[in-house]
């Protein structure tokens, strides 16, 4: 079945430390891949997306993500976390064979320690 997994429910990092949030997807064909961020009580905002081409994608707010086909992964990274990055992060995939189904992961909640 088509699915996307975010293995970490909660992550805590210190301000200034590096960050990596994991995302794995199922299925053999390369889907379209997205990362979104959600602040408490608000809607989601797109951080970055991957359709094809360069496997290292730059996004807003200093985030980047790398698509690794061999690992079926699309992990989100940031070299130095700021306190304002505390939020919930969602990975999403769209499988483009057959019907276009948009699937969101269950999210990773990031806490940043001062």
Partner 1 sequence: DGGITQSPKYLFRKEGQNVTLSCEQNLNHDAMYWYRQDPGQGLRLIYYSQIVNDFQKGDIAEGYSVSREKKESFPLTVTSAQKNPTAFYLCASSIDPTNEQFFGPGTRLTVL
Under the rule (CB under 8 A), what is the footprint of partner 1? 9, 32, 34, 36, 41-46, 49, 90, 92, 94, 96, 100, 102, 104-107
Residue number with CB closer to partner 1 (9 or 114)? 9
In the complex, least distance from residue 16 CB atom to partner 1, rounded to whole angstroms: 29
Collapsed DSSP state (helix, strand, coil) of residue 80: coil
Work out how close the CB of 95 gets to partner 1 at its nearest, in angstroms, rounded to a whole number.
9
**Comparison of 34 and 63: residue with beta carbon closer to partner 1:** 34
For the chain, the first-to-last Cα distance in angstroms comes to 41
| Helix, strand and coil percent figures for the chain, each rounded to 5 | 10, 50, 40
- In order, the DSSP letters of 22-68 are --EE-SSS--EEEEEEE-TTS-EEEEEEE-SS-SEEE-GGG-EEEEE
Shorter beta-carbon distance to partner 1: residue 70 or 99: 99
Minimum CB separation from partner 1 for residue 110, in Å?
15
Residue nearer to partner 1 on the CB measure, 12 or 42? 42
Residue identified by tokens 């797109």 is 46
């Amino acid at each position: 079945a088509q699915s996307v997994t975010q293995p970490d429910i909660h992550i805590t990092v210190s301000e200034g430390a590096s960050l990596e949030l994991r995302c794995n997807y199922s299925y053999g064909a390369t889907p379209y891949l997205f990362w979104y961020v959600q602040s408490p009580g608000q809607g989601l905002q797109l951080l970055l997306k991957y359709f094809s081409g360069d496997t290292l994608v730059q996004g807003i707010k200093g985030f980047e993500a790398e698509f690794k086909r061999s690992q079926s992964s699309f992990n989100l990274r940031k070299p130095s976390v700021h306190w304002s990055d505390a939020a919930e992060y969602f990975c999403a995939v769209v499988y483009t064979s057959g019907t276009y189904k948009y699937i969101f992961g269950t999210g990773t909640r990031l806490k940043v320690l001062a």
